[in-house]
């Protein structure tokens, strides 16, 4: 028997009505523990919708504070949050939306030292990070610990999303083996982004996370979804697991996490 309150039945009725969700699926959502790496452009909209969906525990890793230049796209923060830690700000917004959700803030940057102790309390991970060192660290840690991961990135008018199910499909390194060397990445001056773009990509990631929780539909597993906002085109590109991949390949060489050096923080 379900133990939904009258309020929960009303709040989640549009989910419960879906044959693919129902009371069973909603209960899974309410019990799920999702770790959001970053409450920035991608994490902000994802956190908002996952909280609305009733995800039981939302962990937010972010060591940054809310700045005015974030508000062009990071919709979970507002003027009153300027200067606050982003996780804290996200928690306060979510408290006003849905008190079923427990928000846990990790007000620090992920490193090879702290990532496993944080990951162990979560079932699914969303990478909404703004830098290569963290992106690779999260990918490697998820592969090594077998946690499903949604990874997303945005740049100017372009975005991409992929879902990584360790042991079942390729990882981020199968696609891009190493982080680009310094000087090959966009400089801070080139790092503009249309504000709605991370909204689109972050919500696609949140959708994948809900599908993972529900075990429904076809994931972007082995498929990279690429979105061009100017042309308004979506494309999916097949990605195979690379047998030579240093972390998920047949003879992995990465057995310990790497803290790559950071070049320029562009703060998506």
Partner 1 sequence: MSDEIKIDKEINIKGEVCPYTFVKTKLALEAMKAGQVLKVIVDHLPATENVPRTLKSEGNEILEVSRINEGDWQIITRKGNR
- Position among 8, 32, 144, 171 found at the interface with Zn ion (CB under 5 A): 171
Stretch that binds Zn ion, among 9-17, 99-107, 164-172, 204-212 (CB under 5 A): 164-172
Q: Which does 174 bind (CB under 5 to 8 A by kind): partner 1, Zn ion, none?
A: Zn ion
C-alpha to C-alpha distance for 73 and 30, rounded to whole angstroms: 27
Contact between 245 and Zn ion (CB under 5 A)?
yes
CB of 227 closer than 8 Å to CB of 200: yes
Q: How far apart are the first and last CA of the chain?
A: 44
User: 115 or 245: whose CB is closer to Zn ion?
Assistant: 245
CB proximity list for 99: less than 8 A, separation 6 or greater: none
Please report how the helices 43-53 and 86-95 are oriented relative to each other, as an axis angle in degrees rounded to 10: 30
Q: Which does 171 bind (CB under 5 to 8 A by kind): partner 1, Zn ion, none?
A: Zn ion
User: 10 or 240: whose CB is closer to partner 1?
Assistant: 10
- Degrees to nearest 5, angle at CA 96 with 46 and 147: 30
User: 13 or 111: whose CB is closer to partner 1?
Assistant: 13
DSSP 113: T
Question: Residue 146: is it exposed, middle or buried by C-beta count within 10 angstroms (0-12/13-18/19+)?
Answer: exposed
Half-sphere exposure of 259 toward its Cβ, with a 13 Å CA cutoff?
7
User: 6 or 250: whose CB is closer to partner 1?
Assistant: 6
Give the shortest CB-209-to-partner 1 separation in angstroms: 23
Q: Which of residues 128-157 bind Zn ion (CB under 5 A)?
A: none
Q: Which position's Cβ is nearest Zn ion?
A: 245
C-alpha to C-alpha distance for 26 and 23, rounded to whole angstroms: 5
User: 13 or 187: whose CB is closer to partner 1?
Assistant: 13
- Position among 35, 138, 165, 174 found at the interface with Zn ion (CB under 5 A): 174
Q: Which does 215 bind (CB under 5 to 8 A by kind): Zn ion, partner 1, none?
A: none
Closest by alpha carbon to 262, among 208, 191, 200, 181? 181
Residue with tokens 């703004």: 130
CA dist 142 → 35, 36, 66 (Å): 11, 13, 27
For Zn ion, how many residues bind (rule: CB under 5 A)?
5
User: 135 or 173: whose CB is closer to Zn ion?
Assistant: 173
Contact between 164 and Zn ion (CB under 5 A)?
no
- Position among 173, 220, 225, 257 found at the interface with Zn ion (CB under 5 A): 173
Binding site for partner 1 (CB under 8 A): 1-2, 4, 9-10, 13, 16-17, 19, 22-24
Applying CB under 5 A, which residues contact Zn ion? Answer: 171, 173-174, 245, 248
């Amino acid at each position: 028997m379900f133990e939904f309150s009258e309020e929960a039945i009303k709040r989640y009725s549009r989910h419960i009505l879906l044959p693919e969700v129902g009371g069973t699926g909603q209960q899974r959502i309410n019990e799920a523990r999702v770790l959001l790496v970053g409450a920035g452009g991608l994490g902000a909209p994802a956190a908002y919708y996952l909280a609305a969906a009733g995800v039981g525990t939302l962990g937010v890793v972010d060591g940054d504070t809310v700045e005015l230049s974030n508000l062009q796209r990071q919709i979970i923060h507002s003027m009153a949050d300027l200067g606050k830690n982003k996780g804290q700000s996200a928690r306060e917004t979510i408290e006003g939306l849905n008190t079923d959700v427990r928000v846990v803030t990790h007000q620090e940057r992920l490193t090879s030292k702290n990532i496993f102790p944080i990951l162990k309390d979560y079932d699914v991970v969303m990478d909404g990070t703004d830098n290569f060192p963290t992106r690779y660290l999260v990918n490697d840690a998820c592969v090594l610990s077998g946690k499903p991961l949604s990874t997303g990135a945005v740049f100017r008018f372009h975005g991409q999303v992929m879902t990584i199910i360790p042991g079942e499909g390729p990882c981020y390194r199968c696609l891009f083996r190493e982080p680009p060397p310094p000087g090959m990445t966009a400089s801070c001056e080139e790092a503009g982004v249309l504000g709605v773009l991370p909204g689109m990509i972050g919500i696609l990631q949140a959708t994948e996370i809900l599908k993972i929780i529900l075990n429904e539909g076809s994931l972007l597993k082995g498929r990279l979804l690429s979105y061009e906002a100017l042309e308004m085109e979506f494309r999916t590109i097949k990605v195979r697991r690379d047998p030579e991949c240093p972390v998920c390949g047949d003879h992995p060489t990465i057995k310990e996490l790497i803290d790559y050096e950071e070049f320029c923080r562009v703060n998506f």
